Chains A and B, each alone.
Chain A
């Protein structure tokens, strides 16, 4: 058994939360630069340029990329040969979020659902823990903005709806979202599993390097077709009209019940933030 201290977890989560908000990934920067080149609409091109400039300022001037520093989603892959000592795992993660959002001058965006009173420190995080082989601990901090999360949808389709039904729902979700989720977006799609698994698949698909195809060729084809259809909508950057509404569509698929066809669409704005650490 390899021992990992809870304090190490806190430290790692804190650093990742800060880095995610200030340092856009190379994949995102490349996609924005490509967009500035290829977008046909003049206003869309200008938005891509602004977003590149925004990313530069965020990193150099230490201002978060977006004022919505997100609800902190944390994916934890815990090696089965890891033993956590010196504290409670979820508490250690939440402490990292508390410290990162405090010391990193990040916005605290969590509140009581009914009174709307702010929790003050951006906790609790939404934590997804998985046990995997090995003696490592992988933590991925994903700050997720409210604007794009609000435009996400879950559909329980009939098996007869098939691939055509799935496509129709994905396109409808993006169309209804329109300018609201800060396009250019990334569309995360979860197909199969059950009610909660489809949503988790959709969210997980967003962790993949931007624009990398699903390794399964059958799914990769669906991704390509969906991207094309979504980009026919004409919403464009900031919703001002243009060819690039989505920079990518990522799909994850798994078997489902013989009676069901769950489909989740998790919309990710261009402020696609995820930071991974391995302990």
Chain B
């Protein structure tokens, strides 16, 4: 039975181990944003043995490139981007202690295996609901790579940010389960 769980970052192993695919998570606290360009920079820094702009232990990475904020607003639209573009970088960050990723779309086997091995989860936010999601973001600040524009790393403070568990620590996949339930054969 799917449940709703409120989580506050940074996350512990217990926080993520209790989650099953299909559960709704309401995330509060600090989360970090990064898309492909920022991931490449992060992984390059690690390869050179240099420090990252944030401590990844227990953290949540949100795959998003927000639209610009209007004056007086915190942020513009801020829905998820497609996650597979981060697949080649994600296992490295998971090994560094990253506990959750928020995005949309399928993940590679390597990422799912890393989530199993190091206890992390992948959460899906509603793709294309950028205006709706932006209302759960209470503060936003660029903390690294400002030259990347919308792809810069932001530190966001969120309150009850809604997401669904797509891949849990047991390596299960909500997308596969959903399709199995509703697939039928076409009459040709």
The answer to whether B128 and A270 touch across the interface, beta carbons within 8 angstroms, is yes
CB pair B128–A51 under 8 Å, yes or no, is yes
Q: Are B182 and A180 in contact (CB under 8 A)?
A: no
Stretch at the interface among A54-62, A83-91, A209-217: A54-62
**CA A179 – CA B69 in complex, angstroms?**
28
Provide the residues of chain B in CB contact with A14, threshold 8 Å: none
Residues of chain A contacted by B148 (CB below 8 angstroms) = 118
Would you call A182 and B67 a contact (CB within 8 A)?
no
Contact A51:B106 (CB < 8 A) given known A232-B183, A234-B178, A234-B181? no
Smallest CB separation, B187 vs chain A (Å): 8
Let me know if A63 and B183 touch, CB within 8 A: no
User: For chain A residues 218-263, which have a beta carbon within 8 Å of chain B?
Assistant: 228-229, 232-236, 238-243
Do the beta carbons of A239 and B105 come within 8 Å of each other?
yes
A67 to B179, CA, bound (A): 27
Q: Is the CB of B130 within 8 A of A54?
A: yes
Report B168-185 residues with CB < 8 Å from chain A CB: 174-175, 177-185
Establish whether residues B65 and A68, one from each chain, have CB atoms under 8 Å apart when the complex forms. yes
> B182–A242 contact, CB under 8 A?
yes
The secondary-structure label for the interface of chain B is: loop
Tell me the B19-62 residues at the A interface (CB within 8 Å). 37
| A238/B127 in contact, CB under 8 A | yes
Q: Taking A57-B132, A65-B130 as contacts, is the C-beta distance between A108 and B104 under 8 angstroms?
A: no
Q: Determine the chain B residues whose CB is within 8 A of the CB of A64 once the complex forms.
A: 67, 76-77, 130-131
> Contact string, B130-156, partner A, CB cutoff 8 A, digits 1/0?
111011000000000000111100000
Whole-angstrom CA separation of A109 from B68 in the bound complex: 12
Bound Cα distance A65, B130 (Å):
6
Complex-state Cα separation, A58 to B132, whole angstroms? 8
Q: Are A178 and B175 in contact (CB under 8 A)?
A: yes
A79 located at the interface, meaning its Cβ lies under 8 Å from any Cβ of chain B in the complex? no
Q: When chains A and B are docked, how far (Å) is the Cα of A43 from the Cα of B73?
A: 31
A53 touches B132 (CB 8 A): yes
Contacts of B73 in A (CB 8 A): 63
Beyond A107-B150, A118-B148, A241-B177, whether A63 also contacts B77 by CB under 8 A is yes
Q: Are B126 and A63 in contact (CB under 8 A)?
A: no
Q: How many residues of B contact A (CB 8 A)?
A: 48
Task: For residue A100, give the distance in angstroms from its CB to the closest CB of chain B.
Answer: 13
CA distance A171 to B67 in the complex (A): 33
- A54 x B129 contact (CB < 8 A): yes
B residues near A107, Cβ cutoff 8 Å: 65-68, 76-77, 150
Q: A67-B64, A238-B104 given as contacts; is B70 within 8 A of A105 (CB)?
A: yes
A47 at interface, CB cutoff 8 A = yes
Q: Are B130 and A66 in contact (CB under 8 A)?
A: yes
Q: Is residue B164 contacting chain A, with contact meaning CB distance below 8 A? A: yes
Q: Which residue of A lies closest to B187 (CB)?
A: A228
Asked if B97 is at the interface of the complex by the 8 Å CB criterion, the answer is no
Contact of A61 among B64, B131, B150 (CB under 8 A): B131
Additional A-B contacts beyond A58-B131, A118-B151, A242-B178 (7; CB < 8 A): A63-B130, A66-B77, A67-B130, A68-B130, A105-B70, A178-B106, A270-B128
Sample 18 A-B pairs with CB under 8 A, ordered by A number.
Answer: A51-B126, A54-B128, A63-B130, A64-B77, A64-B131, A67-B79, A67-B150, A69-B67, A107-B66, A118-B148, A120-B149, A147-B105, A179-B175, A233-B183, A234-B178, A240-B124, A241-B179, A242-B182
